[in-house]
């Protein structure tokens, strides 16, 4: 008896950020680097930029894992990379309801909107959401990443490749800094 081929769970890697606000463009620059790499067929990489509403609707297509790539200020040295596992659906962010500012939605707001959309359509949010973040040096107006954040982009690309190759287990647990920039 022939079995139907098993398909790998779908993964979406989404770069978030505004390239006109310095290091906020980290997510966009990182996914640009990922697009040039050979990734598994079940992985889709997109530059979302500031289009959070589009991301929420794209997620309705059904993904097992979501990896958000974004500038993430957590008080460490600029260029520090983080892997953060987002809480499952039904957290406080979802309970507060989404703010529908399509150009200013934070990852939490996007996921809250997704929960609302899934409830209305019977869809399922991703089983797992990881955030690969980078500590910014500056979020002031201006195009281009600071030196420490620019130097973190290739490390972030490798980190995401590792997460994709092991099913994301490297990011399990509480937020963790995974590398700091050189002094």
In a domain, residue 178? The reply is: no
Distance CA 38, CA 47 (A): 17
C-beta of residue 27 within 8 angstroms of C-beta of residue 156: no
In a domain, residue 142? The reply is: yes
Query: What is the total count of domains within the chain?
Result: 1
Q: Which domain holds residue 33?
A: 11-169
- What 3-state class would DSSP assign to 12? strand
Kindly report the pTM of this predicted structure.
Answer: 0.76
**pLDDT reported for residue 13:** 94
Q: Which helix (H) or strand (E) holds 154?
A: helix 147-165
In a domain, residue 180? The reply is: no
In a domain, residue 41? The reply is: yes
What CATH number is associated with residue 144?
A: 3.40.50.1450
C-beta of residue 85 within 8 angstroms of C-beta of residue 111: no
Average pLDDT for runs of 10 along the chain of length 183: 57 92 95 91 90 76 89 94 75 40 52 61 75 94 96 97 71 48 39
**pLDDT reported for residue 92:** 43
In a domain, residue 83? The reply is: yes
C-beta of residue 139 within 8 angstroms of C-beta of residue 19: no
């Amino acid at each position: 008896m022939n079995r139907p081929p098993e398909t790998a769970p779908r993964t979406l890697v989404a770069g978030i950020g505004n390239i006109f606000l310095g290091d906020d463009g980290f997510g966009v620059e990182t996914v640009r680097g990922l697009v040039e790499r050979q990734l598994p067929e079940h992985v889709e990489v997109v530059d979302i930029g500031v289009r959070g509403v589009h991301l929420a609707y794209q997620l309705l297509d059904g993904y097992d894992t979501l990896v958000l790539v974004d500038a993430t200020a957590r008080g460490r040295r600029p260029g520090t990379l983080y892997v953060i596992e987002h809480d499952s659906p039904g957290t406080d962010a979802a309970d507060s309801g989404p703010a529908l500012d399509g150009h200013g939605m934070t990852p939490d707001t996007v996921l809250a909107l997704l929960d609302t959309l899934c409830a209305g359509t019977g869809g399922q949010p991703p089983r797992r959401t990881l955030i690969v973040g980078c500590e910014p040096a500056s979020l002031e107006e201006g195009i281009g990443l600071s030196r420490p954040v620019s130097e973190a982009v290739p490390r972030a690309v490798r980190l995401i490749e590792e997460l994709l190759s092991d099913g994301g287990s490297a990011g399990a647990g509480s937020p963790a800094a995974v590398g700091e920039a050189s002094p």
